[in-house]
Structure 1
Amino acid sequence: MMPYVVQPGDTLLRIARRFHIHAAALLAANPRLSPADPIATGLLVFIPEQNASCYCVQPGDTVLGVAERFSLTVQALLAANPRLDPKQLVPGQLVTLPESAGGGPIIDARAEYGPAELERDLAMLEKHYPFVHVKSFGASVLGLPLYALRIGDGARKLHINAAMHANEWITTPLLMRFVEELVAAGARGGRLAGMDVRQALSEVTVWAVPLVNPDGVKLAQEGLQADHPFYHELLQWNHGSRRFRRWKANARGVDLNDQFPAFWEEEVKRRAADGPGRRDYPGPAPLSEPEAKALFDLTSAERFDLAIALHTQGQEIYWNYRGYEPPESESLARAFGQASGYNPVKLTGSDAGYKDWFIYEYRKPGFTVELGSGVNPLALDCFDDVYDELQPMLVRAIRYLAGL
């Protein structure tokens, strides 16, 4: 077995993914590890032996090219070579080739997907697909960048955001999987779920914000670390526990989906939260949190024609807001329901969410989609099933705006 020292941000699944082994094998080799508890930075763990060979980099090689040549995912190749510079390979250097993962996509949802995975994958997508444009449109409380992807050049604009709630982080790789499939189909002139992608993207621009709440997602995935700048406050807000799997809020204990200026005062009364916490605290004022303000500003600048906020769980589609929604919203929700198998719901008793504000401000179709079923956080083993529900719904949204 090979010894490995746990690094900041490591989890059981991330270590297993890095060394291309099954999490059960890692647990068997380290019986003191618990799948339910954060792994302490600096801990020595043992990695079971794996099958691997080496490749000598040739002039002109790229990470993506080497991965495709040996039927590996880019993630598996980089995980097996943590010191490898993905932007420039040096001819003559040796690259470890793990046992084939049997695929080739960039997005890898076999482990927790957070800010580090997102930033790496955005760089790979932008490099491999030049028509994908990535921009930082703000920063979180702790200074982590907020990213938006712009795809297509159509006059009509579709916006999709994900991971506004920390423990709903599975929505980030789900949205990123869709983005990768969409741009890959566009690059080869193909179709996605029957839609001619190039034709659609000539009519529609897709704006995706895959991770609205990076600080909260890190907490939910990695637990509270001793060097966190809000360590004592967060410990108090989480009732003394360093486990944050059920945490929904941002780093200041504010629920970002209660932050938007749509009858915010009514939501404050309804929540009756006495201060920061795991969930349901709307903050001291609308848009007090930089994540919510950045999304507000992006939406105000781009004035999207249709907006979809991805959450979990319940397999429901919320489409209305206090009668301000346009007439087509209900029929669109039914179409999305037919595509996904989800239940369109006319919701009451909810204010200050992103979807609420979007409808209230612009009188355009806005939707909150509760993906999957079970409890939050959804288990990764349901990822493919949930994606099969999401993909046709998002394709249907693009087709609607494109008039196809």
Structure 2
Amino acid sequence: MKVKVRSGDSLWYYSQLFMMPINLIIDSNPSVNPASLKIGQEINIPGFTLQNYAVKKGDTFWKLGTSRNLSVDALLLINQTLNPNSLTVGAVIKLPKRVISPIVAGRRQYDFKALTADISTLAAIYPFIKINTIGNSILGKPIQEIRLGKGNKKVQINASFHANEWITTPILMALLNNFLLSLTNVRPIRGLSTMPLYNSVDLSIVPMVNPDGVDLVLNGPPPEVREQVIEINRGSTDFSGWKANIRGVDLNNQFPAKWDFEKERSEQDAPAPRDYLGEAPLTEPEAIAMADLARNSQFERMLAFHTQGSEFYWGYEGMEPPESQVIAAEFERVSGYRAVQFIDSFAGYKDWFIQEFRKPGFTIELGSGINPLPLSQYDEIYEEVLGIFLASLYM
């Protein structure tokens, strides 16, 4: 929601007027000098939307404000051209509406279009988040990063490296959405105040690493690559088992962490729906984007959301730091997922992250069953991983 500055206004006054933490208002207006607001200048107020309202007989700003737990001056600020003493029946005015419910409806087939729409809506309601494009997929879809927080502890969380594990994307977006709601409505999550987390963490979220693959699984092949992907899929038009990117390269086998060893023992020597490592490490733009993001940001820890198994992996060749075990124990406690230090699998993003930076990295296997997991597991998975999400920020 945007408001226009009047004489005597301040960001602190807006904080009191809309019961919104002052730091979120400041962070929503990075180009504004709080000490020198200019009359007529537009200011973003996070956590609100504006609704059109047709004036009814008997309406006054006092009645309208009281029914919405807002002061008269909040309505005057929004409707500066109106005379509050002579409201005309039928006239359309603007009323601020506090956002108290999630906008991410994740319990559905959640493709790139759904993700893009939700990111756009979240950015409008919560302008203290920043949206970055870190790269593009084979078919040119932007790989988007959502960044928020003011702290020094850099945490990265990603989802949908694998196409048929797309349920990880709406789960991660729902976690983000509820974190934002907690901040703007000053309400805890599981008894935990989230503003200290916002102030201590620089959070990076890449909700869909493999947008082409996700769309292929959910929507079928796009015309420009239809023949190629059907051929890679051994003539089948059933793409429910497809994990790779649109070129048939498994993105979580693309990283230089014993890649040669994994390549030598792999049974896949050509593009395939899953498990093909490519001709060399980091040939695919999606994998390159994730490697560049990690190198440029120097994260303190990283979580990659996958499915399935109700467990998580936290070690790589003994290169993980001692704190990884402490964090793993907490993840296990808050989620009920089983902590596994080593597995006989290499060349993954978690493996490379630990090898490259000697920082804690985790592959979180959400839910259990056969991929793609059914949406009937969505609510249960969300509750299981919520504790891991919070612990990744407060530990």
The TM-score bracket by the shorter chain reads: 0.7 to 0.9
Letter in 2 for 1:219: L
Counterpart among 248, 256, 259 of residue 251 in structure 2: 256
Looking at structure 2, the residues matched to 270 and 299 of structure 1 have their Cα atoms a distance apart, in angstroms, of 28
* Structure of greater Rg: 2
Alignment of 1:3-402 (within 5 A): 58=53, 104-225=101-222, 227=223, 229-400=224-395
Instruction: Provide, for residues 279-314 of structure 1, a one-character-per-residue CA deviation record: whole Å limited to 9, x for no partner.
Output: 000111111000000011011100100100000000
Contact in 2 for aligned 1:224/1:243 (Cα 8 Å): no
Q: How much has 1:148 moved relative to structure 2? A: 0.4
Looking at structure 2, the residues matched to 373 and 319 of structure 1 have their Cα atoms a distance apart, in angstroms, of 19
Q: How much has 1:347 moved relative to structure 2? A: 2.0
Looking at structure 2, the residues matched to 59 and 372 of structure 1 have their Cα atoms a distance apart, in angstroms, of 47
Looking at structure 2, the residues matched to 189 and 397 of structure 1 have their Cα atoms a distance apart, in angstroms, of 20
Q: How much has 1:273 moved relative to structure 2? A: 1.0
Looking at structure 2, the residues matched to 205 and 180 of structure 1 have their Cα atoms a distance apart, in angstroms, of 16
Looking at structure 2, the residues matched to 316 and 179 of structure 1 have their Cα atoms a distance apart, in angstroms, of 22
Letter in 1 for 2:317: R
Contact in 1 for aligned 2:213/2:246 (Cα 8 Å): yes
Contact in 1 for aligned 2:162/2:252 (Cα 8 Å): yes
Looking at structure 2, the residues matched to 279 and 59 of structure 1 have their Cα atoms a distance apart, in angstroms, of 56
Q: What is the Cα-based RMSD across aligned positions, in Å?
A: 2.0
Contact in 2 for aligned 1:132/1:183 (Cα 8 Å): no
Structure 2: runs of 5+ lacking an equivalent: 1-50, 56-66, 68-89, 93-99
Letter in 1 for 2:330: A
Contact in 2 for aligned 1:195/1:399 (Cα 8 Å): no
Looking at structure 1, the residues matched to 101 and 192 of structure 2 have their Cα atoms a distance apart, in angstroms, of 22
- 1:19 aligns with none
Partner SS state of residue 329, structure 1: helix
Looking at structure 2, the residues matched to 193 and 208 of structure 1 have their Cα atoms a distance apart, in angstroms, of 21
Looking at structure 2, the residues matched to 390 and 340 of structure 1 have their Cα atoms a distance apart, in angstroms, of 6
**TM-score, structure 2 as length reference:** 0.74
Partner SS state of residue 359, structure 1: helix
Looking at structure 2, the residues matched to 266 and 396 of structure 1 have their Cα atoms a distance apart, in angstroms, of 34
Looking at structure 2, the residues matched to 268 and 230 of structure 1 have their Cα atoms a distance apart, in angstroms, of 26
Looking at structure 2, the residues matched to 109 and 181 of structure 1 have their Cα atoms a distance apart, in angstroms, of 12
Partner SS state of residue 355, structure 1: helix
Q: How much has 1:378 moved relative to structure 2? A: 0.5
Q: How much has 1:92 moved relative to structure 2? A: 10
**TM-score, structure 1 as length reference:** 0.73
Looking at structure 1, the residues matched to 268 and 314 of structure 2 have their Cα atoms a distance apart, in angstroms, of 26
Bigger mean CA offset, 324-333 vs 154-163: 324-333
Contact in 1 for aligned 2:101/2:181 (Cα 8 Å): no
- 1:48 aligns with none
Instruction: Provide, for residues 213-237 of structure 1, a one-character-per-residue CA deviation record: whole Å limited to 9, x for no partner.
Output: 0000001111224x1x222221111
Count how many residue pairs are aligned between Structure 1 and Structure 2. Answer: 305
Cα distance change of structure 1 residues 365 and 58 upon mapping to structure 2, 3 Å threshold: same
Cα distance change of structure 1 residues 92 and 238 upon mapping to structure 2, 3 Å threshold: farther
Identity over aligned residues, as a percent?
Answer: 43
Looking at structure 2, the residues matched to 399 and 300 of structure 1 have their Cα atoms a distance apart, in angstroms, of 23
Looking at structure 2, the residues matched to 158 and 350 of structure 1 have their Cα atoms a distance apart, in angstroms, of 24
Instruction: Provide, for residues 304-350 of structure 1, a one-character-per-residue CA deviation record: whole Å limited to 9, x for no partner.
Output: 00100000000011000001100121221121011000000122321
Contact in 1 for aligned 2:310/2:368 (Cα 8 Å): yes
Structure 1: runs of 5+ lacking an equivalent: 1-55, 61-68, 70-90, 94-102
Q: How much has 1:59 moved relative to structure 2? A: 7.9
Looking at structure 2, the residues matched to 375 and 183 of structure 1 have their Cα atoms a distance apart, in angstroms, of 32
Looking at structure 1, the residues matched to 387 and 274 of structure 2 have their Cα atoms a distance apart, in angstroms, of 31
